[in-house]
């Protein structure tokens, strides 16, 4: 049976996975390379990873993932430049005037995007800017700078690598609802201001049996604004233990998300947030839940793998 990356290529989308750079050897590396046409560093490009101390950059982890991608003919989704979480404490706990924070933020974007110029295909420039009700999250950036930080981050990213596709990315925006309405209105405003935004990422951290019925319609309304869309962090979590019935439902869920992307011409691709249950954030963040990815802990494909393959 053909690898997922080839099936996806033939349908005009990329099939990607988040990876952990430090694990890219042996069977983990072999599967990541064989099956996926795009990789996202799960943590290695976050601000706290690359600039833990102001002005001291550490690119080892990010370089490892980008080098791996190049060695295996894979695209890279850079993740992520401006986010309220996994910030270095010097940013999160600093006392900032608006001008000082804006300068620090744009320097960070310019430095990181510049380092990987020509090597990162898509950047999640701004991650999780919204609250559940669709209003602007009062992160250090939102609270200090208001919505203007988003435009500034995109402009800095475009200047640093004009060829990279620049995305805003969030969770719980997958279906229609208050939060995705907020994202829709945000993207409309950014476009009206001439902000260089190319796409909207939908994380799709989903619960078993709860793929939003409006996923496709939601992707389509964003695409009709004239931007690309992508599923950027798909996983489907279940209460443990996994059973055959749950794994069958999960297969249907993965297939439904894949079909929604395929149905929307401007859906550029789909990324799973870890391809093996041994490399998933879910058990750590949602106690009692897991088995959220297409491969089990021993790197055997699960029904979800077949769900993606059949949908492709
Ligand atoms: C997660 C990583 O997978 C974990 O290893 C880390 O401890 C926390 O972050 N939304 C995002 C991702 O945009 O960056 C998060 O990744 C999962 C939720």
Report how far residue 54's alpha carbon sits from residue 138's, in angstroms, rounded to the nearest whole number.
Answer: 23
Report how far residue 307's alpha carbon sits from residue 263's, in angstroms, rounded to the nearest whole number.
Answer: 16
User: Which residue has the least CA distance to atom 8 on ligand 1?
Assistant: 281
**Pocket lining: 280 vs ligand 1, CB cutoff 6 Å:** no
**Pocket lining: 127 vs ligand 1, CB cutoff 6 Å:** yes
Which residue's entry shows tokens 């981050």?
Answer: 153
Q: What is the pTM of this model?
A: 0.98
Q: What is the pLDDT of residue 1?
A: 84
CATH of the domain at 103: 3.20.20.80
Ligand 1 atom showing the smallest separation from residue 284 Cα: 7
Tens-digit pLDDT profile for residues 25-64: 999 999 999 999 999 999 999 999 999 999 999 999 999 9
**Pocket lining: 43 vs ligand 1, CB cutoff 6 Å:** yes
Report how far residue 200's alpha carbon sits from residue 198's, in angstroms, rounded to the nearest whole number.
Answer: 7
- Which residues are catalytic, by number? 233
Report how far residue 227's alpha carbon sits from residue 166's, in angstroms, rounded to the nearest whole number.
Answer: 10
> What is the number of structural domains in the chain?
1
Report how far residue 13's alpha carbon sits from residue 267's, in angstroms, rounded to the nearest whole number.
Answer: 7
Token duo for residue 45: 């490009």
**In a 3-state reduction of DSSP, which class is residue 207?**
strand
Q: How far is the CA of 10 from the centre of ligand 1 (A)?
A: 30
Per-residue b/e over 121-160, b at no fewer than 16 CB within 10 Å? Answer: bbbbbbbbbbeeebebeebbbbebbeeebbbbbbbbbbeb
DSSP β-ladder status, 289-290 and 228-239: antiparallel
> Cα 278–294–300 angle (5° rounding)?
70
Q: What is the pLDDT of residue 261?
A: 98
**Pocket lining: 172 vs ligand 1, CB cutoff 6 Å:** no
Range of the domain at 82: 4-311
Q: What is the pLDDT of residue 305?
A: 98
Q: Which residue among 85, 272, 278 has the greatest number of ligand 1 atoms within 8 angstroms of its CB, and so is best to mutate?
A: 85
Q: How many of the other CB atoms lie within 10 Å of CB of 54?
A: 12
Ligand 1 atom showing the smallest separation from residue 20 Cα: 5
**Pocket lining: 42 vs ligand 1, CB cutoff 6 Å:** yes
Do residues 148 and 141 make contact, with C-beta atoms less than 8 angstroms apart?
no
Provide the residue-wise pLDDT of the chain in tens; the chain has 312 residues.
899 999 999 999 999 999 999 999 999 999 999 999 999 999 999 999 999 999 999 999 999 999 999 999 999 999 999 999 999 999 999 999 999 999 999 999 999 999 999 999 999 999 999 999 999 999 999 999 999 999 999 999 999 999 999 999 999 999 999 999 999 999 999 999 999 999 999 999 999 999 999 999 999 999 999 999 999 999 999 999 999 999 999 999 999 999 999 999 999 999 999 999 999 999 999 999 999 999 999 999 999 999 999 999
Report how far residue 129's alpha carbon sits from residue 56's, in angstroms, rounded to the nearest whole number.
Answer: 26
Q: What is the pLDDT of residue 170?
A: 99
Q: What is the pLDDT of residue 4?
A: 98
Q: How far is the CA of 37 from the centre of ligand 1 (A)?
A: 21
Q: How far is the CA of 124 from the centre of ligand 1 (A)?
A: 13
User: Which residue has the least CA distance to atom 1 on ligand 1?
Assistant: 281
**Pocket lining: 281 vs ligand 1, CB cutoff 6 Å:** yes
């Amino acid at each position: 049976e053909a690898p997922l990356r080839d099936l996806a290529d033939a349908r005009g989308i990329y099939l990607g996975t988040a990876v952990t750079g430090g694990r890219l050897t042996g069977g983990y590396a072999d599967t990541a390379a064989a099956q996926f046409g795009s990789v996202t560093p799960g943590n290695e490009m976050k601000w706290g990873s690359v600039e833990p101390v102001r002005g001291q950059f550490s690119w080892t982890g990010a370089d490892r993932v980008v080098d791996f991608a190049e060695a295996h003919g894979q695209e890279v989704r850079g993740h992520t430049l401006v986010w309220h979480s996994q910030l270095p404490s010097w940013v999160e706990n600093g006392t900032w005037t608006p001008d000082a924070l804006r300068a620090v933020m744009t320097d960070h974007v310019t430095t990181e995007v510049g380092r990987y110029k020509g090597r990162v295909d898509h950047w999640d420039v701004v991650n999780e800017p919204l609250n559940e009700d669709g209003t602007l999250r009062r992160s250090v950036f939102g609270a200090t700078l208001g919505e203007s930080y988003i435009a500034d981050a995109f402009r800095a990213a475009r200047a640093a690598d004009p060829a990279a596709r620049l995305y805003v990315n969030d969770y719980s925006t997958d279906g229609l609802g208050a939060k995705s309405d907020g994202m829709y209105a945000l993207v409309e405003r950014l476009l009206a201001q001439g902000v260089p935004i190319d796409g909207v990422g939908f994380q799709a951290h989903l619960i078993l049996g709860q793929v939003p019925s409006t996923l496709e319609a939601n992707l389509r309304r964003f695409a009709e604004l004239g931007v690309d869309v992508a599923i950027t962090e798909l996983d489907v979590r279940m209460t443990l233990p996994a059973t055959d019935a749950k794994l069958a439902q999960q297969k249907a869920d993965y297939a439904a998300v894949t079909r929604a992307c395929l149905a929307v011409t401007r859906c550029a691709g789909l990324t799973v947030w870890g391809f093996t249950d041994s490399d998933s954030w879910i058990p750590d963040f949602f106690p009692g839940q897991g088995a959220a990815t297409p491969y089990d802990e021993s790197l055997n494909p699960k029904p979800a793998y077949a769900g993606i393959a059949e949908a492709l």
